[in-house]
Amino acid sequence: MDAATIWLCIFAIGAGTFALRFSFIELAGRMALPESMTRALRFLPPAVLSAIIVPAVLRHGPASDLYFGIDNPRVAAAAAAALVAWLTKSVVATLAAGMATLWLIGWMIN
């Protein structure tokens, strides 16, 4: 692909992505969103966070398929992190618990 076409792709994806990001912010600036919609959107953060977490935990590498085996060290590490998050509500403690568990299991396996 030549340089001009590459720039065309970048600007087209950039403009379209901006339109997606801006659409409802702009709409809500002009009129009130329906109450049922604002009520439903309260559940977007847990739904989307969970949907980002699950594949990232069930994958071995960045591009591989999901792996449901119980011997996936990432599942144990994620469970440890979730427990610490629940007990401490601390981001740093959660990251430390999850990474420590993952590295420890990796070190024990090798």
Partner 1 sequence: MTETSARQDWIDGISVMLPLIPGVLPFGMIAGVAASEAGLDAWAGIGQSMIVFAGASQIAALQLIADAAPALVVILTGLVINLRFAMYGASLAPHFERRSVWMRALIAHLMTDQSYALSVTRFNMRPEMSKAARLRFYMGNAGLMWVVWAAATAAGYFLGNSIPPDWSMDFFVPLSFIALLVPSIRETPMAAAALTGGVVVALAWTLPFNMGLFAAAVCGVAAGYLADRHFSQHRKEPN
Window 8 to 37, contacts with partner 1 (CB under 8 A): 8-14, 16-18, 20-29, 33, 36-37
Torsion (CA) 27, 30, 36, 39 in degrees, nearest 10: 80
| Under 8 Å between Cβ of 98 and 77 | yes
- Pair of tokens at residue 3: 């340089």
Place of tokens 């692909």: 1
Q: Which is nearer to partner 1, 39 or 70 (CB)?
A: 39
According to the binding rule CB under 8 A, does residue 58 interact with partner 1? yes
SS3 40: helix
According to the binding rule CB under 8 A, does residue 109 interact with partner 1? no
Residues in a beta bridge with 59 = 66
Minimum distance from CB of 70 to partner 1 (Å)? Answer: 15
Binding to partner 1 (CB under 8 A) within 63-102 occurs at 65-66, 74, 77-78, 81-82, 85-86, 89-92, 94-95, 98-99, 102
Minimum distance from CB of 84 to partner 1 (Å)? Answer: 9
